[in-house]
Structure 1
Amino acid sequence: MLLGSAQGAFAAAGDVTVNATVDRKAVGGTTDLLLDPDRSIRVEVTVHNGTNAPRHVKTVRLSGTALALTFFAYDTTVPFDVPAKESVTRAFQLDLADLGGQATGLLPTEIEVLDDNRDVLGSVATTGDVLGSMWSVYAVFGLGVLLLTVFSWAGALIALARRRLPANRWQRAMRFLPAGIGTGLVAVISLSVLKLMAPSPAAEIPFILGSAAAALLLGYLTPHPGEPDALRPADDADRETDDFSDADRYSVTDHHSDYSEAPLTERITRPLPPGGAV
């Protein structure tokens, strides 16, 4: 179907743009796109060709990404041509039956149109509200990141308690860095699964960089591990050495006191035992 009213507006743009609706609701803006695995959806795309050459559309893709990873993607073959300076609309039904095992929560979602070479001609972005399972790939991925983060924190803190961290401050800071990055990732995924905030780059970067910087600072400020004896005051160590020396000296003196304190003349004139042995 040609949309003549839109031809003039997009003819001057010199580019290909896309508008889309799902169940007759416009995609984009501040409204989230509800994606329910228990029912199919009606997708309608309008491609505006503002270039001077015709464009051929072969595939329409619905995909959801988070942390630069694609967690679900649906490709539907809908071939049609879009003449130069014109617009064409196509609609189709999309079955989302297996979406529940792929993702859940709020995810950045795109509807893209691809040509024969699978190059993207144009797209429209929104936030998808996926009614998936807590055992979906995305939720399990978040659980794995959580476990790795807990192990990272445990390893760093146990090493701190046992005084096994490196002596160099920057090396100690780097020991805490993976735990900080993991904390930021866990925060981003948790907010997404709980449907509080979608993991867009504007939200991911502050959380991850902020937690990484905090972990670096914590590792940098940890005390020098040192040796246990080196942490005691010098006067205590000297006092222990003096006490040991005195005790040792006293024990030697007591051992030989019966002999060393006797006068020399008494030792010389003391009678020899039988047999003449001294």
Structure 2
Amino acid sequence: MRRVIAAGVALAACAVLFGAAPASAAEPLQLTVSLDGRDINGNTVTIDPAKSAELSVTAINNSDSVVRVRSVRVSGVALALTFFSYDTTMPFDVPAKSRVTRTLVLDFTDLGGQAIGLLPTTVDIVGAQREDLGSVSTVSDVRGSLWSVYGVFGLAMLVITAFLWATALLALARHRLAPNRWRRALRFLPAGIGTGLVAVITLSVLKLVPPEPAIEIPVVIGTAAIGLILGYLTPHPIPPLPPSSTPDDPTVDLRTRRLENTTEGFA
């Protein structure tokens, strides 16, 4: 069971470290996006699930050909996992060397059960072949519930990390860790990784720092290194005592002698 949980934490860490999308080719459209009249580029926007929001998208086509747009997508990603996504089909063409503005109303009612806190958010223009034609990134302050998908994910990571630390420390207290230092270090590695993931999610839910790759990767790598160092520096386990040669039963190996009565004659 411990190995399964440790593998799950390690996979989540791999998603954080290697899950960022590779750099794509130059996008054919430049976008300017505003939410309720406020430009989202470089700003933190507030999303209240109890209210709808007006999203205005201006697509600028600097190429010599028409670009056909199929839909607009708004998505929030943390730890390389998508926690909410809204796709609105809105076909329109952007002629060459021109710009087109479209406005749509987004209903975020379901968002309260999907996310909470600061989340990196992207607005994408999607083409007819579902290719990305342009995008703008921002940070959303989602006023959702702690029992949302993102909040429950953070609580689950907290429980798993506490379990990993408890099992590692209990093995240390019972002198059951491996004699090899590097094996002891690897025993503490999943707990260190889990601590980093919990720290990233907690900072996000408390609306202190968004879980962006520039924050996620150093935090997770740092806590993983701390876990390795702690495991490496743990004391060598006390070897088990050799079996005692003294029998436990005091009645074993007792020697008995038969006492014989002798009679002596008297002269």
Q: Normalising by the residue count of structure 2, what TM-score does the alignment of the two structures yield?
A: 0.81
1:188 aligns with 2:200: yes
Structure with higher Rg: it is: 1
1:19 pairs with one of 25, 32, 40 = 32
CA RMSD of aligned residues (A): 2.3
- What letter corresponds to residue 91 of structure 1 in structure 2? T
Q: What's the CA shift string for 1:71-110, capped at 9, x where partnerless?
A: 0000011110011221111001111111100000000001
Q: What's the CA shift string for 1:133-192, capped at 9, x where partnerless?
A: 111000000000000000000010000111111111111100000000000000000000
1:93 aligns with 2:105: yes
1:150 pairs with one of 154, 158, 162 = 162
- What letter corresponds to residue 161 of structure 1 in structure 2? A
Residue in 1 that maps onto 2:20: none
Per-residue deviation at 1:53?
1.8
2:78 pairs with one of 66, 69, 74 = 66
- What letter corresponds to residue 129 of structure 1 in structure 2? D
- What letter corresponds to residue 216 of structure 1 in structure 2? L
SS in 1 for 2:207: coil
What CA distance in whole angstroms lies between the structure 1 residues aligned with 2:264 and 2:216? 99
Residue in 1 that maps onto 2:123: 111
Residue in 1 that maps onto 2:262: 273
Given that 2:117 and 2:141 are in contact with CA atoms closer than 8 Å, whether structure 1 keeps it comes out as yes
Identity of aligned residues (%): 55
What CA distance in whole angstroms lies between the structure 2 residues aligned with 1:275 and 1:84? 138
Given that 1:14 and 1:51 are in contact with CA atoms closer than 8 Å, whether structure 2 keeps it comes out as no
What CA distance in whole angstroms lies between the structure 2 residues aligned with 1:14 and 1:117? 14
Q: What's the CA shift string for 1:187-229, capped at 9, x where partnerless?
A: 0000000101100001101110000000000000111113154
2:146 pairs with one of 134, 141, 154 = 134
What CA distance in whole angstroms lies between the structure 2 residues aligned with 1:175 and 1:14? 45
Residue in 2 that maps onto 1:54: 66
How do residues 137-216 of structure 1 correspond to structure 2 at under 5 angstroms?
Answer: 137-216=149-228
Specify whether residues 14 and 110 from structure 1 end up closer, same or farther in structure 2 by C-alpha distance, changes over 3 A only. closer
Structure 1 unaligned spans of 5+: 1-12, 231-240, 245-251, 257-271
Given that 1:14 and 1:50 are in contact with CA atoms closer than 8 Å, whether structure 2 keeps it comes out as no
- What letter corresponds to residue 99 of structure 1 in structure 2? L
Per-residue deviation at 1:274?
2.6
Given that 2:27 and 2:132 are in contact with CA atoms closer than 8 Å, whether structure 1 keeps it comes out as no
- What letter corresponds to residue 63 of structure 1 in structure 2? S
SS in 1 for 2:88: strand
Given that 1:102 and 1:137 are in contact with CA atoms closer than 8 Å, whether structure 2 keeps it comes out as yes
Given that 1:47 and 1:89 are in contact with CA atoms closer than 8 Å, whether structure 2 keeps it comes out as yes
What CA distance in whole angstroms lies between the structure 2 residues aligned with 1:34 and 1:223? 50
What CA distance in whole angstroms lies between the structure 2 residues aligned with 1:78 and 1:183? 43
Residue in 2 that maps onto 1:43: 55
* Larger helix share, 1 or 2: 1
- What letter corresponds to residue 131 of structure 1 in structure 2? R
SS in 1 for 2:185: helix
- What letter corresponds to residue 183 of structure 1 in structure 2? T
What CA distance in whole angstroms lies between the structure 2 residues aligned with 1:275 and 1:149? 87
Given that 2:176 and 2:237 are in contact with CA atoms closer than 8 Å, whether structure 1 keeps it comes out as yes
Q: Normalising by the residue count of structure 1, what TM-score does the alignment of the two structures yield?
A: 0.77
Aligned length: 228
- What letter corresponds to residue 116 of structure 1 in structure 2? A
Structure showing greater relative contact order (alpha-carbon pairs closer than 8 Å, 6 or more residues apart): 2
SS in 2 for 1:98: helix
